[in-house]
Amino acid sequence: MNSFEQNREFELLKEKYARHEKILIQAYTSLKEKERKLKELYSELLETEEKLRQSNEELHSTNEQLSSQKEELKASLDRLNETQLQLVQSEKMASLGVLAAGVAHEINNPLNFINGGILGIETYFKENLEDHISEVLPLIEAVNVGVKRASDIVSSLCLYSSNDNAKFKSVDINLVIENCLVLLRSQLRGKIEVEKEFTDSKYTIIGSEGKLQHALLNIIKNACSAIQTEGKICIRTFTESNYLCIAISDTGCGIDPKIINKIFDPFFTTKDPGEGTGLGLSITFKIIKEHNGTIEYESVVGSGTNAIIKLPILKSEK
């Protein structure tokens, strides 16, 4: 090969090289561009991932919020249902109150006639027909018992005409409970063990001591009646938020779930006729309401009953 041809080949090689270089540079540029784009996409991906993670977190927290709101709503609904029940009961009491006051007043006079009349008859017998008096005495006794029983019911009913303003003042709940236990001494003795647990917390209850005693007496009396041969009554006081709670439990026969909603109804009783008026718990309910408190019962047949009374505590200035 001569030098001309060598040069020619060299030029050709140079051109080929230049072309290749150009291609390589293009390829390299292209790759670099792709790399850049890839990096961009990767960056976007990271961003999106971050956003997704944030959204997820938000959703999670909203979910938790919703869940807790649901809990609150459920609790509100329960409270509302409870309030409604108590309100319905109060309504019953209110309309009974109006009726009762009228009835009580009207019945007292006729009772008086019977009473006065029978006394006159008894006196007449004693003075004129002394030999026959033994035959009529049981009959006279029957009339007297009838008048007394009717008169007791009228007395109880009078508590429903709530226009009596017994003065409200500070009440010693422990003393009230002790008084009740003293009054029920004969029913408790030898048969029922009483356990008391009074709270050490300081609190002030404003109310009528007499009425609260009446209210608690009815509850404890029922507890005694529920215990047939022997058993136990626990009376516990404790404070809870702004309320004083009085828990009275017994190991008695319990209350049938079918009737437990009726225990506060006036004249409702599971005792034999003549043993009770059926007014005890309805009076208790009324008195507790007058004191802005609540009362609830829970029971297991054959096991026992718990009564829980809550009375608002006077908010003291600190």
Residue 100 has which token pair?
A: 């009762």
Give the angle 306-185-300 at the CA atoms, nearest 5°.
Answer: 20
Q: Is 111 in the site for other proteins (CB under 8 A)?
A: yes
Q: Is 140 in the site for other proteins (CB under 8 A)?
A: no
Q: Interface with other proteins by CB under 8 A: which range of 51-59, 149-157, 249-257, 291-299? A: 149-157
Helix (H) or strand (E) holding 165: none
Listed residue (218, 233, 192) closest to 271, CA to CA: 218
* Structure letter (DSSP) for residue 244: E
Q: Quick one: 120 or 257, whose CB is closer to other proteins?
A: 120
Q: Is 155 in the site for other proteins (CB under 8 A)?
A: yes
Residues 39-68 that bind other proteins (CB under 8 A): none
Q: Quick one: 134 or 165, whose CB is closer to other proteins?
A: 165
Q: Is 194 in the site for other proteins (CB under 8 A)?
A: no
From residue 219, how far is each of 50, 98, 159, 177, 307 by CA, in Å? 64, 25, 17, 11, 8
Q: Is 187 in the site for other proteins (CB under 8 A)?
A: no
CA distance 183 to 179: 6
- When binding is defined by CB under 8 A, the residue of 94, 99, 143, 158 that contacts other proteins is 158
Q: Is 128 in the site for other proteins (CB under 8 A)?
A: no
Q: Is 114 in the site for other proteins (CB under 8 A)?
A: yes
- When binding is defined by CB under 8 A, the residue of 112, 128, 170, 174 that contacts other proteins is 112
Q: Quick one: 151 or 225, whose CB is closer to other proteins?
A: 151
Residue 116 has which token pair?
A: 């006065």
Q: Interface with other proteins by CB under 8 A: which range of 19-27, 159-167, 232-240, 303-311? A: 159-167
In the block, which residue shows the tokens 């291609």? Answer: 23
Residue 127: CB minimum distance to other proteins, A: 9
Q: Interface with other proteins by CB under 8 A: which range of 34-42, 45-53, 116-124, 265-273? A: 116-124
Q: Is 123 in the site for other proteins (CB under 8 A)?
A: yes
User: What contacts 236, CB < 8 A, 6 or more positions away?
Assistant: 196, 197, 198, 246, 247, 249
Q: Is 119 in the site for other proteins (CB under 8 A)?
A: yes
From residue 167, how far is each of 14, 64, 163, 208, 313 by CA, in Å? 121, 50, 12, 6, 17
Query: By the 8 A CB rule, do 205 and 242 touch?
Result: no
Residue 210: CB minimum distance to other proteins, A: 10
Residue 134 has which token pair?
A: 């033994």
Residue 142: CB minimum distance to other proteins, A: 16
Query: Under rule CB under 8 A, how many of the chain's residues touch other proteins?
Result: 23
Give the angle 9-13-16 at the CA atoms, nearest 5°.
Answer: 140
- Tell me the one-letter amino acid at 312: P
- When binding is defined by CB under 8 A, the residue of 2, 3, 109, 241 that contacts other proteins is 109
Q: Is 102 in the site for other proteins (CB under 8 A)?
A: no
In the block, which residue shows the tokens 């990767």? Answer: 42
- Tell me the one-letter amino acid at 248: I
Query: By the 8 A CB rule, do 308 and 247 touch?
Result: yes
Q: CA neighbours within 13 Å on the CB side: how many for 28? A: 6
Q: Is 162 in the site for other proteins (CB under 8 A)?
A: no
Q: Is 108 in the site for other proteins (CB under 8 A)?
A: yes
Q: Is 130 in the site for other proteins (CB under 8 A)?
A: no
Q: Quick one: 243 or 285, whose CB is closer to other proteins?
A: 285
Query: By the 8 A CB rule, do 229 and 191 touch?
Result: yes
Q: Which residues lie near other proteins (CB under 8 A)? A: 104-105, 108-109, 111-117, 119-120, 123, 147, 151, 154-155, 158-159, 161, 164-165
